[in-house]
Amino acid sequence: MRTSILRLGAVLAGAALLSACQLGTKSAEQYGYRGTGMDQINVASAKKTLDPVHVVPPPPYDPPKPGGKPAREAYQNVQVLGDISEDEFSYTMAAITQWIAPEQGCNYCHNPANMASDEVYTKVVARRMLQMTRGINTSWKSHVKQTGVTCYTCHRGQAVPAANWALPAAGNPNTIIGNRFNQNNPVDSVAYASLPTTGMAKYLIDPSAPAARVNSKGSHPSAANKASVMEAESVYGLMMHTSSALGVNCTFCHNADSLQSWNVSTPKRPLAWYGIQMVKDVNGNYITPLKSVFPKHRLGPMGDPLKVNCATCHRGINKPLNGVSMVKDYPALRPTGPMVTAAAAPAAAVPSAAATKTP
Ligand code: HEC
Ligand code: HEC
Ligand code: HEC
Ligand code: HEC
Protein backbone atom coordinates (compact mmCIF):
# COMPACT_ATOMS: atom_id res chain seq x y z
CA MET A 1 0.00 0.00 0.00
CA ARG A 2 2.68 2.41 1.12
CA THR A 3 4.92 1.64 -1.92
CA SER A 4 2.02 2.14 -4.33
CA ILE A 5 1.31 5.57 -2.80
CA LEU A 6 5.00 6.40 -3.16
CA ARG A 7 4.94 5.21 -6.76
CA LEU A 8 1.85 7.25 -7.52
CA GLY A 9 3.55 10.27 -5.95
CA ALA A 10 6.64 9.74 -8.10
CA VAL A 11 4.52 9.43 -11.26
CA LEU A 12 2.62 12.64 -10.48
CA ALA A 13 5.83 14.53 -9.65
CA GLY A 14 7.39 13.26 -12.90
CA ALA A 15 4.36 14.39 -14.89
CA ALA A 16 4.54 17.85 -13.28
CA LEU A 17 8.22 18.15 -14.19
CA LEU A 18 7.67 16.96 -17.75
CA SER A 19 4.90 19.49 -18.32
CA ALA A 20 7.56 22.24 -17.92
CA CYS A 21 5.49 23.84 -15.19
CA GLN A 22 3.48 26.13 -17.49
CA LEU A 23 -0.13 25.10 -17.37
CA GLY A 24 -2.71 25.72 -20.07
CA THR A 25 -3.43 24.85 -23.69
CA LYS A 26 -0.63 25.69 -26.07
CA SER A 27 -0.71 26.38 -29.76
CA ALA A 28 2.40 26.13 -31.93
CA GLU A 29 2.94 27.99 -35.17
CA GLN A 30 5.76 26.87 -37.45
CA TYR A 31 7.94 29.68 -38.84
CA GLY A 32 10.71 27.85 -40.66
CA TYR A 33 12.29 24.52 -41.61
CA ARG A 34 11.07 21.46 -39.78
CA GLY A 35 13.37 20.42 -36.96
CA THR A 36 15.08 23.81 -36.58
CA GLY A 37 13.01 24.75 -33.55
CA MET A 38 11.40 27.63 -35.45
CA ASP A 39 8.06 27.50 -33.73
CA GLN A 40 6.23 30.17 -31.83
CA ILE A 41 4.54 28.56 -28.85
CA ASN A 42 1.65 30.49 -27.38
CA VAL A 43 -0.20 29.63 -24.20
CA ALA A 44 -3.79 30.09 -25.38
CA SER A 45 -5.25 30.15 -21.89
CA ALA A 46 -2.92 32.96 -20.76
CA LYS A 47 -5.15 35.44 -22.70
CA LYS A 48 -2.33 37.96 -22.58
CA THR A 49 -3.79 39.89 -25.47
CA LEU A 50 -7.13 40.35 -23.64
CA ASP A 51 -5.48 42.37 -20.86
CA PRO A 52 -7.25 45.79 -20.78
CA VAL A 53 -3.87 47.49 -21.41
CA HIS A 54 -4.01 46.12 -24.99
CA VAL A 55 -7.55 47.37 -25.71
CA VAL A 56 -8.18 50.51 -27.78
CA PRO A 57 -10.36 53.08 -25.93
CA PRO A 58 -13.36 54.60 -27.80
CA PRO A 59 -13.06 58.14 -29.27
CA PRO A 60 -14.16 61.02 -26.98
CA TYR A 61 -17.19 61.59 -29.26
CA ASP A 62 -18.15 60.90 -32.88
CA PRO A 63 -15.43 62.21 -35.21
CA PRO A 64 -16.49 65.55 -36.79
CA LYS A 65 -17.37 65.81 -40.49
CA PRO A 66 -14.62 67.23 -42.69
CA GLY A 67 -14.74 70.89 -43.75
CA GLY A 68 -14.88 74.22 -41.93
CA LYS A 69 -12.45 76.93 -40.99
CA PRO A 70 -8.81 75.77 -40.69
CA ALA A 71 -7.41 75.81 -37.15
CA ARG A 72 -4.62 78.22 -38.08
CA GLU A 73 -7.26 80.86 -38.82
CA ALA A 74 -9.43 80.04 -35.82
CA TYR A 75 -6.66 80.24 -33.20
CA GLN A 76 -3.57 82.29 -32.45
CA ASN A 77 -0.64 79.93 -31.90
CA VAL A 78 -1.14 76.72 -33.87
CA GLN A 79 2.15 75.55 -35.37
CA VAL A 80 1.55 71.89 -36.22
CA LEU A 81 -2.18 71.25 -36.53
CA GLY A 82 -2.92 74.38 -38.63
CA ASP A 83 -4.11 72.30 -41.60
CA ILE A 84 -7.08 70.63 -39.85
CA SER A 85 -10.52 72.15 -39.31
CA GLU A 86 -11.53 73.93 -36.12
CA ASP A 87 -13.91 71.06 -35.22
CA GLU A 88 -11.27 68.44 -35.81
CA PHE A 89 -8.85 70.47 -33.70
CA SER A 90 -11.24 70.42 -30.70
CA TYR A 91 -11.84 66.70 -31.21
CA THR A 92 -8.07 66.05 -31.26
CA MET A 93 -7.56 68.12 -28.06
CA ALA A 94 -10.32 66.11 -26.33
CA ALA A 95 -8.67 62.84 -27.42
CA ILE A 96 -5.12 63.74 -26.33
CA THR A 97 -6.48 64.84 -22.95
CA GLN A 98 -7.95 61.34 -22.47
CA TRP A 99 -4.71 59.71 -23.58
CA ILE A 100 -2.18 61.80 -21.63
CA ALA A 101 -3.89 63.49 -18.69
CA PRO A 102 -7.41 62.06 -18.16
CA GLU A 103 -7.52 63.26 -14.54
CA GLN A 104 -5.84 66.67 -14.81
CA GLY A 105 -7.63 67.67 -18.08
CA CYS A 106 -6.82 70.53 -20.45
CA ASN A 107 -4.86 72.44 -17.79
CA TYR A 108 -2.17 69.78 -17.75
CA CYS A 109 -0.84 71.57 -20.83
CA HIS A 110 -2.66 74.90 -20.81
CA ASN A 111 -2.94 78.04 -18.77
CA PRO A 112 -6.76 78.30 -18.90
CA ALA A 113 -6.54 82.12 -18.92
CA ASN A 114 -4.57 82.03 -22.18
CA MET A 115 -4.82 78.87 -24.27
CA ALA A 116 -2.39 80.26 -26.87
CA SER A 117 0.44 80.63 -24.36
CA ASP A 118 3.32 78.15 -24.36
CA GLU A 119 4.23 78.75 -20.70
CA VAL A 120 3.42 75.20 -19.50
CA TYR A 121 6.33 72.90 -20.52
CA THR A 122 4.01 69.97 -21.24
CA LYS A 123 2.45 71.95 -24.11
CA VAL A 124 5.84 72.46 -25.72
CA VAL A 125 6.58 68.73 -25.32
CA ALA A 126 3.12 67.83 -26.68
CA ARG A 127 3.69 69.97 -29.79
CA ARG A 128 6.91 68.10 -30.54
CA MET A 129 5.10 64.81 -29.85
CA LEU A 130 2.43 65.81 -32.40
CA GLN A 131 5.18 66.26 -35.00
CA MET A 132 6.77 62.97 -33.93
CA THR A 133 3.51 61.02 -34.17
CA ARG A 134 2.80 62.49 -37.61
CA GLY A 135 6.37 61.60 -38.56
CA ILE A 136 5.98 57.97 -37.43
CA ASN A 137 2.70 57.58 -39.34
CA THR A 138 4.00 59.06 -42.58
CA SER A 139 7.76 58.33 -42.68
CA TRP A 140 7.81 54.92 -40.97
CA LYS A 141 5.06 53.03 -42.79
CA SER A 142 7.82 50.49 -43.41
CA HIS A 143 7.28 49.57 -39.76
CA VAL A 144 3.84 50.72 -38.58
CA LYS A 145 2.09 49.95 -41.93
CA GLN A 146 -1.49 51.21 -42.28
CA THR A 147 -2.08 50.36 -38.61
CA GLY A 148 -0.19 53.49 -37.52
CA VAL A 149 0.12 54.88 -34.01
CA THR A 150 -1.49 57.55 -31.82
CA CYS A 151 -0.29 59.12 -28.57
CA TYR A 152 -2.18 56.30 -26.81
CA THR A 153 0.04 53.60 -28.37
CA CYS A 154 2.81 54.83 -26.03
CA HIS A 155 0.99 56.74 -23.29
CA ARG A 156 -2.04 54.52 -22.41
CA GLY A 157 -3.65 57.17 -20.22
CA GLN A 158 -0.41 58.22 -18.45
CA ALA A 159 1.66 61.41 -18.84
CA VAL A 160 4.86 59.32 -18.86
CA PRO A 161 4.63 56.05 -20.80
CA ALA A 162 5.11 53.07 -18.46
CA ALA A 163 7.72 51.39 -20.67
CA ASN A 164 10.63 53.83 -21.02
CA TRP A 165 14.38 53.90 -20.42
CA ALA A 166 17.25 56.32 -19.85
CA LEU A 167 21.03 56.05 -19.76
CA PRO A 168 22.03 53.86 -16.79
CA ALA A 169 23.75 55.53 -13.85
CA ALA A 170 27.50 54.99 -14.00
CA GLY A 171 28.80 52.61 -11.30
CA ASN A 172 30.98 54.05 -8.55
CA PRO A 173 34.27 52.10 -8.28
CA ASN A 174 34.74 53.33 -4.70
CA THR A 175 31.71 51.55 -3.29
CA ILE A 176 31.57 47.99 -2.02
CA ILE A 177 29.66 46.99 -5.17
CA GLY A 178 32.31 48.65 -7.34
CA ASN A 179 31.99 49.51 -10.99
CA ARG A 180 30.00 46.78 -12.64
CA PHE A 181 30.69 48.24 -16.06
CA ASN A 182 26.94 48.43 -16.64
CA GLN A 183 26.39 44.73 -16.35
CA ASN A 184 25.47 42.07 -13.80
CA ASN A 185 22.60 44.32 -12.89
CA PRO A 186 19.23 42.61 -13.23
CA VAL A 187 17.22 45.30 -15.03
CA ASP A 188 14.22 45.16 -17.31
CA SER A 189 16.10 46.64 -20.31
CA VAL A 190 18.00 43.37 -20.82
CA ALA A 191 15.19 41.07 -19.69
CA TYR A 192 16.93 40.60 -16.29
CA ALA A 193 19.97 38.86 -17.81
CA SER A 194 23.51 39.71 -16.65
CA LEU A 195 24.19 41.48 -19.96
CA PRO A 196 25.42 45.05 -20.46
CA THR A 197 22.67 47.62 -20.01
CA THR A 198 24.35 49.88 -22.55
CA GLY A 199 23.02 48.10 -25.68
CA MET A 200 20.10 50.47 -25.97
CA ALA A 201 22.31 53.54 -25.63
CA LYS A 202 24.52 52.13 -28.33
CA TYR A 203 21.89 51.05 -30.82
CA LEU A 204 18.69 53.00 -30.04
CA ILE A 205 19.59 56.71 -29.86
CA ASP A 206 21.89 57.91 -32.59
CA PRO A 207 20.35 57.69 -36.09
CA SER A 208 23.87 57.25 -37.50
CA ALA A 209 24.80 54.47 -35.04
CA PRO A 210 26.34 51.31 -36.52
CA ALA A 211 24.14 48.29 -37.22
CA ALA A 212 23.80 45.79 -34.37
CA ARG A 213 25.99 43.19 -36.07
CA VAL A 214 28.78 41.20 -34.48
CA ASN A 215 28.87 37.85 -36.23
CA SER A 216 32.18 36.88 -37.69
CA LYS A 217 32.49 37.09 -41.47
CA GLY A 218 35.17 34.43 -41.68
CA SER A 219 36.74 31.69 -39.63
CA HIS A 220 40.05 33.48 -38.92
CA PRO A 221 40.78 36.74 -37.09
CA SER A 222 41.02 39.53 -39.65
CA ALA A 223 40.33 43.23 -40.08
CA ALA A 224 36.71 42.35 -40.88
CA ASN A 225 36.25 40.46 -37.61
CA LYS A 226 36.72 43.11 -35.01
CA ALA A 227 33.67 42.84 -32.76
CA SER A 228 34.60 42.52 -29.10
CA VAL A 229 32.95 40.25 -26.56
CA MET A 230 31.48 43.38 -24.97
CA GLU A 231 29.88 44.38 -28.30
CA ALA A 232 28.51 40.87 -28.78
CA GLU A 233 27.01 41.04 -25.30
CA SER A 234 25.45 44.44 -26.06
CA VAL A 235 23.76 43.01 -29.15
CA TYR A 236 22.50 40.08 -27.10
CA GLY A 237 21.16 42.50 -24.49
CA LEU A 238 19.28 44.38 -27.21
CA MET A 239 17.95 41.09 -28.62
CA MET A 240 16.77 39.96 -25.17
CA HIS A 241 14.86 43.23 -24.92
CA THR A 242 13.40 42.79 -28.42
CA SER A 243 12.15 39.31 -27.59
CA SER A 244 10.61 40.23 -24.26
CA ALA A 245 9.09 43.46 -25.62
CA LEU A 246 7.24 41.50 -28.32
CA GLY A 247 6.56 38.41 -26.19
CA VAL A 248 8.29 36.14 -28.73
CA ASN A 249 11.40 34.01 -28.84
CA CYS A 250 14.47 34.49 -31.04
CA THR A 251 13.12 32.27 -33.82
CA PHE A 252 10.23 34.67 -34.43
CA CYS A 253 12.84 36.56 -36.50
CA HIS A 254 15.93 34.36 -36.75
CA ASN A 255 16.69 30.89 -38.01
CA ALA A 256 18.79 29.22 -35.32
CA ASP A 257 20.93 27.80 -38.16
CA SER A 258 22.44 31.28 -38.68
CA LEU A 259 21.47 34.26 -36.57
CA GLN A 260 23.36 36.44 -39.04
CA SER A 261 22.02 35.38 -42.42
CA TRP A 262 19.11 37.47 -43.71
CA ASN A 263 18.27 34.86 -46.38
CA VAL A 264 17.17 32.27 -43.86
CA SER A 265 15.58 34.73 -41.39
CA THR A 266 11.80 35.09 -41.24
CA PRO A 267 10.08 38.11 -42.89
CA LYS A 268 9.60 39.57 -39.38
CA ARG A 269 13.33 40.37 -39.12
CA PRO A 270 13.40 43.17 -41.75
CA LEU A 271 10.28 44.61 -40.07
CA ALA A 272 12.22 44.62 -36.80
CA TRP A 273 15.18 46.28 -38.57
CA TYR A 274 12.90 49.13 -39.63
CA GLY A 275 11.66 49.23 -36.03
CA ILE A 276 15.22 49.80 -34.79
CA GLN A 277 15.76 52.63 -37.32
CA MET A 278 12.41 54.22 -36.36
CA VAL A 279 13.26 54.12 -32.64
CA LYS A 280 16.61 55.85 -33.36
CA ASP A 281 14.76 58.58 -35.27
CA VAL A 282 12.24 59.03 -32.43
CA ASN A 283 14.86 59.13 -29.66
CA GLY A 284 17.59 60.99 -31.52
CA ASN A 285 15.59 63.55 -33.48
CA TYR A 286 12.51 64.19 -31.31
CA ILE A 287 13.00 63.22 -27.66
CA THR A 288 16.69 63.96 -26.95
CA PRO A 289 16.40 67.58 -28.22
CA LEU A 290 13.64 68.13 -25.59
CA LYS A 291 16.19 67.73 -22.79
CA SER A 292 16.20 71.42 -21.81
CA VAL A 293 12.38 71.60 -21.87
CA PHE A 294 11.80 68.87 -19.27
CA PRO A 295 12.02 69.65 -15.53
CA LYS A 296 14.73 67.72 -13.66
CA HIS A 297 12.39 65.16 -12.11
CA ARG A 298 11.41 63.99 -15.59
CA LEU A 299 15.00 63.13 -16.55
CA GLY A 300 16.96 59.90 -15.98
CA PRO A 301 19.93 59.49 -13.57
CA MET A 302 22.35 60.84 -16.23
CA GLY A 303 20.14 63.85 -17.02
CA ASP A 304 18.73 62.64 -20.35
CA PRO A 305 14.99 62.49 -21.13
CA LEU A 306 13.18 59.16 -20.80
CA LYS A 307 13.26 57.41 -24.15
CA VAL A 308 11.38 54.92 -26.29
CA ASN A 309 12.24 51.26 -26.89
CA CYS A 310 10.32 48.38 -28.48
CA ALA A 311 8.28 47.84 -25.30
CA THR A 312 6.98 51.44 -25.24
CA CYS A 313 4.54 50.57 -28.04
CA HIS A 314 4.51 46.76 -28.01
CA ARG A 315 4.03 46.14 -24.25
CA GLY A 316 4.76 42.41 -24.53
CA ILE A 317 2.83 41.52 -27.70
CA ASN A 318 3.94 41.25 -31.35
CA LYS A 319 1.53 43.94 -32.62
CA PRO A 320 0.78 46.87 -30.31
CA LEU A 321 -2.89 47.08 -29.25
CA ASN A 322 -3.42 43.72 -30.96
CA GLY A 323 -2.83 45.29 -34.39
CA VAL A 324 -6.04 47.40 -34.24
CA SER A 325 -5.67 50.63 -36.23
CA MET A 326 -6.58 53.40 -33.84
CA VAL A 327 -5.26 56.29 -35.95
CA LYS A 328 -8.01 55.89 -38.55
CA ASP A 329 -10.33 57.76 -36.15
CA TYR A 330 -7.77 60.59 -35.71
CA PRO A 331 -6.82 61.82 -39.19
CA ALA A 332 -5.05 64.84 -37.65
CA LEU A 333 -2.28 62.46 -36.57
CA ARG A 334 -1.78 60.99 -40.04
CA PRO A 335 -1.90 63.81 -42.56
CA THR A 336 -2.36 62.67 -46.12
CA GLY A 337 -0.21 64.09 -48.86
CA PRO A 338 2.88 62.80 -50.55
CA MET A 339 4.34 59.98 -48.49
CA VAL A 340 7.78 60.71 -47.13
CA THR A 341 10.09 57.74 -47.57
CA ALA A 342 11.86 56.19 -44.61
CA ALA A 343 15.52 57.01 -44.06
CA ALA A 344 17.14 55.18 -46.96
CA ALA A 345 18.08 51.66 -45.95
CA PRO A 346 21.22 50.35 -47.59
CA ALA A 347 19.71 47.96 -50.11
CA ALA A 348 22.46 45.36 -49.82
CA ALA A 349 22.36 45.35 -46.03
CA VAL A 350 18.64 44.99 -45.58
CA PRO A 351 16.51 42.82 -47.78
CA SER A 352 12.95 44.03 -48.22
CA ALA A 353 10.24 41.97 -46.57
CA ALA A 354 9.21 40.74 -50.00
CA ALA A 355 12.74 39.60 -50.84
CA THR A 356 13.13 37.41 -47.76
CA LYS A 357 11.43 34.06 -48.06
CA THR A 358 10.38 31.86 -45.22
CA PRO A 359 11.53 28.46 -46.29
C1 HEC B 1 -1.13 66.97 -23.73
C2 HEC B 1 -1.15 68.41 -23.86
C3 HEC B 1 -2.46 69.08 -24.20
C4 HEC B 1 -3.68 68.91 -23.59
C5 HEC B 1 -4.05 67.96 -22.45
C6 HEC B 1 -4.59 69.83 -24.22
N7 HEC B 1 -3.92 70.57 -25.17
FE8 HEC B 1 -4.70 72.11 -26.26
N9 HEC B 1 -2.92 72.38 -27.19
C10 HEC B 1 -1.81 71.56 -27.01
C11 HEC B 1 -0.81 71.90 -28.01
C12 HEC B 1 0.55 71.24 -28.18
C13 HEC B 1 -1.34 72.98 -28.76
C14 HEC B 1 -0.68 73.67 -29.96
C15 HEC B 1 -0.88 72.80 -31.21
C16 HEC B 1 -0.08 73.27 -32.41
O17 HEC B 1 0.83 74.12 -32.26
O18 HEC B 1 -0.36 72.78 -33.53
C19 HEC B 1 -2.67 73.26 -28.20
C20 HEC B 1 -3.48 74.29 -28.63
C21 HEC B 1 -4.78 74.51 -28.17
C22 HEC B 1 -5.64 75.61 -28.58
C23 HEC B 1 -5.28 76.73 -29.52
C24 HEC B 1 -4.96 77.99 -28.72
C25 HEC B 1 -4.49 79.15 -29.61
O26 HEC B 1 -5.21 80.15 -29.71
O27 HEC B 1 -3.40 79.01 -30.20
C28 HEC B 1 -6.84 75.43 -27.97
C29 HEC B 1 -8.08 76.31 -28.10
C30 HEC B 1 -6.73 74.23 -27.16
N31 HEC B 1 -5.46 73.71 -27.30
C32 HEC B 1 -7.74 73.71 -26.40
C33 HEC B 1 -7.63 72.60 -25.56
C34 HEC B 1 -8.71 72.07 -24.77
C35 HEC B 1 -10.13 72.63 -24.74
C36 HEC B 1 -8.20 71.01 -24.08
C37 HEC B 1 -8.95 70.07 -23.15
C38 HEC B 1 -10.10 69.39 -23.74
C39 HEC B 1 -6.80 70.89 -24.44
N40 HEC B 1 -6.49 71.87 -25.34
C41 HEC B 1 -5.94 69.95 -23.91
C42 HEC B 1 -1.64 70.59 -26.04
C43 HEC B 1 -2.63 70.13 -25.20
C1 HEC C 1 6.66 56.58 -29.52
C2 HEC C 1 6.12 56.81 -28.19
C3 HEC C 1 5.39 58.11 -27.91
C4 HEC C 1 4.35 58.65 -28.64
C5 HEC C 1 3.70 58.10 -29.91
C6 HEC C 1 3.96 59.84 -27.95
N7 HEC C 1 4.73 60.03 -26.85
FE8 HEC C 1 4.60 61.57 -25.50
N9 HEC C 1 6.18 60.83 -24.46
C10 HEC C 1 6.88 59.69 -24.78
C11 HEC C 1 7.93 59.48 -23.78
C12 HEC C 1 8.92 58.31 -23.75
C13 HEC C 1 7.82 60.54 -22.84
C14 HEC C 1 8.64 60.75 -21.57
C15 HEC C 1 9.75 61.73 -21.66
C16 HEC C 1 10.26 62.09 -20.28
O17 HEC C 1 9.45 62.18 -19.33
O18 HEC C 1 11.48 62.35 -20.11
C19 HEC C 1 6.72 61.37 -23.32
C20 HEC C 1 6.30 62.54 -22.68
C21 HEC C 1 5.21 63.31 -23.06
C22 HEC C 1 4.73 64.48 -22.34
C23 HEC C 1 5.34 65.08 -21.06
C24 HEC C 1 4.58 64.55 -19.86
C25 HEC C 1 5.11 65.04 -18.54
O26 HEC C 1 4.32 64.98 -17.58
O27 HEC C 1 6.28 65.45 -18.44
C28 HEC C 1 3.63 64.95 -23.02
C29 HEC C 1 2.77 66.14 -22.65
C30 HEC C 1 3.43 64.08 -24.16
N31 HEC C 1 4.41 63.11 -24.16
C32 HEC C 1 2.41 64.24 -25.09
C33 HEC C 1 2.23 63.40 -26.19
C34 HEC C 1 1.19 63.61 -27.18
C35 HEC C 1 0.16 64.71 -27.17
C36 HEC C 1 1.34 62.62 -28.11
C37 HEC C 1 0.55 62.38 -29.39
C38 HEC C 1 0.44 63.52 -30.27
C39 HEC C 1 2.46 61.79 -27.68
N40 HEC C 1 2.97 62.30 -26.52
C41 HEC C 1 2.92 60.68 -28.38
C42 HEC C 1 6.63 58.82 -25.83
C43 HEC C 1 5.64 58.99 -26.79
C1 HEC D 1 11.71 40.88 -33.55
C2 HEC D 1 12.81 40.30 -34.31
C3 HEC D 1 14.02 39.77 -33.57
C4 HEC D 1 14.05 38.95 -32.47
C5 HEC D 1 12.88 38.41 -31.67
C6 HEC D 1 15.44 38.68 -32.21
N7 HEC D 1 16.22 39.32 -33.12
FE8 HEC D 1 18.26 39.20 -33.27
N9 HEC D 1 18.25 40.57 -34.79
C10 HEC D 1 17.12 41.15 -35.32
C11 HEC D 1 17.52 42.18 -36.27
C12 HEC D 1 16.60 43.08 -37.06
C13 HEC D 1 18.95 42.18 -36.29
C14 HEC D 1 19.87 43.07 -37.14
C15 HEC D 1 20.19 44.35 -36.41
C16 HEC D 1 20.97 45.30 -37.29
O17 HEC D 1 21.32 44.96 -38.42
O18 HEC D 1 21.23 46.44 -36.82
C19 HEC D 1 19.37 41.14 -35.36
C20 HEC D 1 20.71 40.80 -35.10
C21 HEC D 1 21.10 39.77 -34.28
C22 HEC D 1 22.47 39.32 -34.12
C23 HEC D 1 23.68 39.90 -34.86
C24 HEC D 1 23.82 39.23 -36.19
C25 HEC D 1 25.05 39.72 -36.94
O26 HEC D 1 24.95 39.91 -38.17
O27 HEC D 1 26.10 39.92 -36.32
C28 HEC D 1 22.46 38.29 -33.24
C29 HEC D 1 23.65 37.47 -32.77
C30 HEC D 1 21.08 38.11 -32.80
N31 HEC D 1 20.29 39.01 -33.45
C32 HEC D 1 20.67 37.19 -31.87
C33 HEC D 1 19.36 37.12 -31.35
C34 HEC D 1 18.98 36.30 -30.21
C35 HEC D 1 19.92 35.39 -29.43
C36 HEC D 1 17.65 36.51 -29.99
C37 HEC D 1 16.76 35.95 -28.88
C38 HEC D 1 17.21 36.29 -27.53
C39 HEC D 1 17.20 37.44 -31.02
N40 HEC D 1 18.27 37.79 -31.81
C41 HEC D 1 15.89 37.89 -31.15
C42 HEC D 1 15.82 40.82 -35.03
C43 HEC D 1 15.40 40.02 -33.97
C1 HEC E 1 5.93 53.76 -32.22
C2 HEC E 1 5.43 52.45 -31.85
C3 HEC E 1 6.33 51.25 -32.12
C4 HEC E 1 7.60 51.04 -31.64
C5 HEC E 1 8.44 51.94 -30.76
C6 HEC E 1 8.00 49.74 -32.16
N7 HEC E 1 7.01 49.20 -32.91
FE8 HEC E 1 7.04 47.37 -33.80
N9 HEC E 1 5.15 47.67 -34.52
C10 HEC E 1 4.39 48.81 -34.31
C11 HEC E 1 3.11 48.66 -34.97
C12 HEC E 1 1.97 49.68 -34.98
C13 HEC E 1 3.12 47.37 -35.59
C14 HEC E 1 2.00 46.70 -36.37
C15 HEC E 1 2.15 46.91 -37.86
C16 HEC E 1 1.15 46.04 -38.62
O17 HEC E 1 -0.04 46.18 -38.37
O18 HEC E 1 1.60 45.18 -39.39
C19 HEC E 1 4.43 46.79 -35.29
C20 HEC E 1 4.83 45.54 -35.73
C21 HEC E 1 6.07 44.97 -35.47
C22 HEC E 1 6.52 43.69 -35.97
C23 HEC E 1 5.70 42.74 -36.84
C24 HEC E 1 4.88 41.81 -35.96
C25 HEC E 1 4.05 40.81 -36.74
O26 HEC E 1 3.51 39.90 -36.09
O27 HEC E 1 3.94 40.95 -37.96
C28 HEC E 1 7.79 43.48 -35.50
C29 HEC E 1 8.67 42.27 -35.74
C30 HEC E 1 8.14 44.63 -34.69
N31 HEC E 1 7.07 45.52 -34.70
C32 HEC E 1 9.36 44.81 -34.05
C33 HEC E 1 9.71 45.95 -33.34
C34 HEC E 1 11.00 46.13 -32.71
C35 HEC E 1 12.14 45.13 -32.73
C36 HEC E 1 10.97 47.35 -32.11
C37 HEC E 1 12.08 48.03 -31.31
C38 HEC E 1 13.34 48.20 -31.99
C39 HEC E 1 9.66 47.93 -32.37
N40 HEC E 1 8.92 47.06 -33.12
C41 HEC E 1 9.25 49.19 -31.91
C42 HEC E 1 4.75 49.91 -33.56
C43 HEC E 1 5.96 50.08 -32.91
Question: What confidence tens digit (pLDDT) does each residue in 28-48 have?
Answer: 777 766 766 677 777 665 556
Burial code (b: 16+ CB inside 10 Å, e: under 16) for 139-159 equals bbbbbbeebbbbbbbbbbeeb
Confidence of residue 352 (pLDDT cuts 50, 70, 90): very low
Tell me the one-letter amino acid at 102. Answer: P
CA of 221 relative to ligand 2 center, distance in Å: 45
- Residues in contact with ligand 1 by the CB-under-6-Å rule are 75-81, 93-94, 96-97, 100-101, 105-106, 108-110, 115-116, 122-123, 126-127, 130
Q: Are the CB atoms for 112 and 290 separated by under 8 Å?
A: no
CB of 294 closer than 6 angstroms to any ligand 2 atom: yes
pLDDT at residue number 174: 67
Measured between its terminal Cα atoms, the distance across the chain in Å is 56
Closest Cα to atom 12, ligand 3: which residue?
273
Of 50-64, 94-108, 213-227, give the range with the top mean pLDDT: 94-108
Average pLDDT, the chain: 83
Over residues 232-245, mean pLDDT = 92
Closest Cα to atom 3, ligand 1: which residue?
109
CA of 190 relative to ligand 3 center, distance in Å: 14
What is the per-residue pLDDT across 157-213, written as a single tens digit (0 to 9) for each? 999 999 999 988 766 666 665 666 666 666 676 667 667 777 788 899 999 988 888
Identify the nearest ligand to the CA of 162 by its number.
2
Closest Cα to atom 38, ligand 2: which residue?
130
Of 33-37, 224-228, 294-298, 355-359, give the range with the top mean pLDDT: 294-298
Identify the nearest ligand to the CA of 294 by its number.
2
- Long-range (24+ apart) CB contacts under 8 A made by 85-92 are 88/63, 88/64, 88/331, 88/332, 89/332, 90/64, 91/59, 91/60, 91/61, 91/63, 91/64, 91/332, 92/330, 92/332, 92/333
What is the per-residue pLDDT across 286-332, written as a single tens digit (0 to 9) for each? 999 999 999 999 999 899 999 999 999 999 999 999 999 999 999 99
Ligand 1 pocket test target in 109, 130, 132, 158 with most atoms within 8 Å of CB: 109
CA of 115 relative to ligand 1 center, distance in Å: 7
Atom number of ligand 1 nearest to Cα 74:
26
Over residues 117-142, mean pLDDT = 97
